[in-house]
Amino acid sequence: MYKIMIVDDDAFFASVFEGNFDWAASGFSFDACAGSGSAAIEILHRRQIDLVFVDMCMPGMNGPELIGYIASNFPGVQCVALSNYDDFDFVKESFRLGACDYVLKHCLNRQEMQRILSDFLRRRGENGETVPARDSNGSGSDDQRTGAFLSALLEGVYVQDHGDYRLWDSMGLPHLSENLLIVRTSLRDYEGFRRKYQEMSKLKYILRSICSMMRNMLEHLADGAVFHSESDACFYTILGGSILKDPRMLERIRGMYISQVESMMKMYFNVDCSSCASPIVRDVRDIHQGYLEMLRTAGIRPAAEEENPVPIDFGAVRSRALSALRRSLKAPGVEDTRRCIARYYEDGRRLGYRQLHYAQLTMALYLVLLDLKGEVPNAGLSFWELPDTDCSPAEMQTYVTELFSGLYGQARANRAEAYQGFVQEALDVIRRNYAMPTLSLNVVAETIHVSPSHLSRCFKAEVGMGISEYINRFRIERAEAMFAIDQPNVKTVAARCGFEAYTYFFRIFKRYTGMTPREFCERHNLRFDGSDDEEEERESPSTDRR
């Protein structure tokens, strides 16, 4: 195992440092703790130490002096500088004297420690020494992964409409979902800055240090994430939080942050920089639009922006949406309707829609709304206005979703008025529990405390079919909606609709629709995700299993 020592006159921090990490799991052992530079030198002469964490401010021999001594007398030992924000001038000197890395003390979490240890192992590998197999797969690229993820977010690549916050958690990022502000900071004469630190072989550490200091500035302002973009050599900050809802606080925070960044660059690196900020972005799904607006305001043309919008067949979109949303109005809850609308706007974000595209999509869904209004009796929404085409895509989506939710509420009220008494109770039980494979006449009757024979007679008289047939019909309607809205795997649809046997689902689906699932998806221009087992199902016996 590689052996670690910390040199710090703060005994409390040293004890927390020792006990807060699982050293053995990473192939290291915590071997020594020294309270001063002279004590550390004595330990180095007596023991084999591989990695030393050095505090920059200590009485007697300070951190940079100790690092210089270690580099001259123990060339095989690597040093990491520990610093507070006010001590960064020591950190620059420590790099010159031989430090391999640095970290701000308050940023030293488990993820940052894992990065430091991984970088240590990688450097040992570059020096011809053996790196343990578990560390040979590049685990030290966390900063690059985080930067790539956030860059993709700005470029319009966003995971799922609801947001997959496991990615944010895994990277130690705050949940930036609304009230967002993007700040772009570019260095003047970046090429000269880059050459200067490349000659010292410290460029990536300096870039990382700038990001850390910018994050530190956010601590008392707002939540946020900072990263360096290699594509345009700029630093990006994404700020978020409820505090940015207030326009006065937004202006104050934006001004303070930009001023502090420019002062920091000049003070510590003697380099000028300029910053520009986006308008406030109310939803993370529109962060790409805010990013583009920021670039245009700064006089920068986005590289991927085209002169003319790509033509999209919104007639076909309207046709598919009409079928999917018609089915969603029959669902047990309004969630299907909301998900269906969200999927169309999410497709737009994934495909890179521009403002004109979103306006056309909203118009297509509005026309679908008018079509379905004629199919829902007593739809009490007398006049619906289109949202302003200057609205953000998220605002358009919210507006359209609210209109369809109102239409769904009226459709549900119509269904409730159609049947009275325990027949309506039986329908509610079926709609809530259709995914339960054991759902049957007896189960429904037992749930609403009515005898099965009496329920069967009354249900058939009011609804026009038996309970078993109604259950199968409702399950197939739900399957059609799932294909149209979520487009999941066929076996997943069968299981979600209460069919334990995949083959039985094929037979019932074809009985009520006249098509196999594959044919249904092809007819409605939906993605089919399944096997070709329906050919076998066509030849299988059609006897129903109860």
- Over the stretch 209-226, which tens digit does the pLDDT of each residue have? 888 788 878 777 888 888
Give me the chain's average pLDDT, please. 78
Residue 43 has, within 13 A of its CA and on its CB side, a CA count of 21
Nearest alpha-carbon partner for 70 in 134, 144, 7, 2: 7
> Is the domain of 136 the same as that of 151?
no
Lowest mean pLDDT among 18-22, 187-191, 405-409, 509-513: 18-22
Residue 543 has phi, psi (to 5 degrees) of -65, 130
Given a contact cutoff of 8 angstroms between Cβ atoms, the answer to whether 356 and 312 are in contact is: no
β partners of residue 237: 183, 226
Indicate if the pLDDT at residue 141 is higher than 50: no
> Is the domain of 22 the same as that of 81?
yes
What is residue 380's predicted lDDT score, i.e. its pLDDT?
Answer: 54
pTM of the model: 0.40
- The C-alpha R_g of the chain, in whole angstroms, comes to 32
Given a contact cutoff of 8 angstroms between Cβ atoms, the answer to whether 34 and 5 are in contact is: yes
Residue 251 banded pLDDT, cuts 50, 70, 90: confident
> Is the domain of 431 the same as that of 402?
no
> Is the domain of 170 the same as that of 287?
yes
DSSP state of 387: P
Given a contact cutoff of 8 angstroms between Cβ atoms, the answer to whether 299 and 276 are in contact is: no
Residue 388 banded pLDDT, cuts 50, 70, 90: low
Last residue of a domain, one of 89, 114, 140: 140
Query: Which tens digit of pLDDT belongs to each residue from 157-209?
Result: 554 333 444 455 555 566 666 788 899 999 988 888 888 888 777 787 788 78
> Is the domain of 60 the same as that of 156?
no
* Single-letter amino acid code for the residue at 156: G
What is residue 162's predicted lDDT score, i.e. its pLDDT?
Answer: 37
In percent, the amount of the chain with pLDDT more than 90 equals: 5
Mean pLDDT of 128-133: 42
Instruction: List the domain range (segments joined by +) for residue 383.
Output: 314-415
Asked if residue 470 belongs to a domain, the reply is yes
User: Other CB atoms closer than 10 Å to residue 227's CB: what's the count?
Assistant: 24
- What is the CATH classification number for the domain harbouring 510? 1.10.10.60
> Is the domain of 366 the same as that of 325?
yes
Given a contact cutoff of 8 angstroms between Cβ atoms, the answer to whether 250 and 268 are in contact is: no
Last residue of a domain, one of 369, 395, 415: 415
Query: Which tens digit of pLDDT belongs to each residue from 468-482?
Result: 888 998 888 888 888
* Single-letter amino acid code for the residue at 23: W
What does the angle CA 19 – CA 23 – CA 26 come to, to the nearest 5 degrees? 155
Asked if residue 181 belongs to a domain, the reply is yes
Q: Which helix (H) or strand (E) holds 332?
A: none
Asked if residue 303 belongs to a domain, the reply is no
> Is the domain of 173 the same as that of 255?
yes
What is residue 169's predicted lDDT score, i.e. its pLDDT?
Answer: 53
DSSP state of 224: E
Indicate if the pLDDT at residue 88 is higher than 80: no
Asked if residue 308 belongs to a domain, the reply is no
What is residue 185's predicted lDDT score, i.e. its pLDDT?
Answer: 93
- What is the CATH classification number for the domain harbouring 181? 3.30.70
β partners of residue 103: 82
Distances (CA, A) of 242 to 223, 224, 282, 398: 9, 12, 10, 19
Residue 134 banded pLDDT, cuts 50, 70, 90: very low
Asked if residue 70 belongs to a domain, the reply is yes
Mean pLDDT of 138-165: 58
- What is the CATH classification number for the domain harbouring 22? 3.40.50.2300
What is residue 130's predicted lDDT score, i.e. its pLDDT?
Answer: 42
> Is the domain of 381 the same as that of 472?
no
Mean pLDDT of 113-121: 86
Asked if residue 155 belongs to a domain, the reply is yes
> Is the domain of 148 the same as that of 266?
yes
Indicate if the pLDDT at residue 309 is higher than 70: no
Indicate if the pLDDT at residue 524 is higher than 50: yes
Query: Which tens digit of pLDDT belongs to each residue from 95-115?
Result: 778 888 878 877 787 778 888
> Is the domain of 175 the same as that of 293?
yes
What is residue 224's predicted lDDT score, i.e. its pLDDT?
Answer: 82
The Cα–Cα gap between 402 and 114 comes to 46
Residue 51 banded pLDDT, cuts 50, 70, 90: very high
Given a contact cutoff of 8 angstroms between Cβ atoms, the answer to whether 235 and 117 are in contact is: no
> Is the domain of 242 the same as that of 365?
no
Distances (CA, A) of 69 to 31, 84, 151, 316, 432: 20, 22, 41, 72, 73
The Cα–Cα gap between 466 and 388 comes to 49
The Cα–Cα gap between 272 and 446 comes to 77
Directed axis angle between helix 247-269 and helix 88-97, to 10°? 40
Asked if residue 305 belongs to a domain, the reply is no
Query: Which tens digit of pLDDT belongs to each residue from 402-452?
Result: 888 888 887 777 766 656 677 888 888 888 888 898 999 899 888 888 888
Asked if residue 252 belongs to a domain, the reply is yes
Task: Give me the number of domains the chain comprises.
Answer: 4
The Cα–Cα gap between 475 and 110 comes to 49
Listed in sequence order, the DSSP H helices in 374-440 are: 393-418, 421-433
Last residue of a domain, one of 359, 388, 415: 415
> Is the domain of 289 the same as that of 159?
yes
In percent, the amount of the chain with pLDDT more than 70 equals: 81
Indicate if the pLDDT at residue 242 is higher than 90: no
User: Other CB atoms closer than 10 Å to residue 382's CB: what's the count?
Assistant: 5
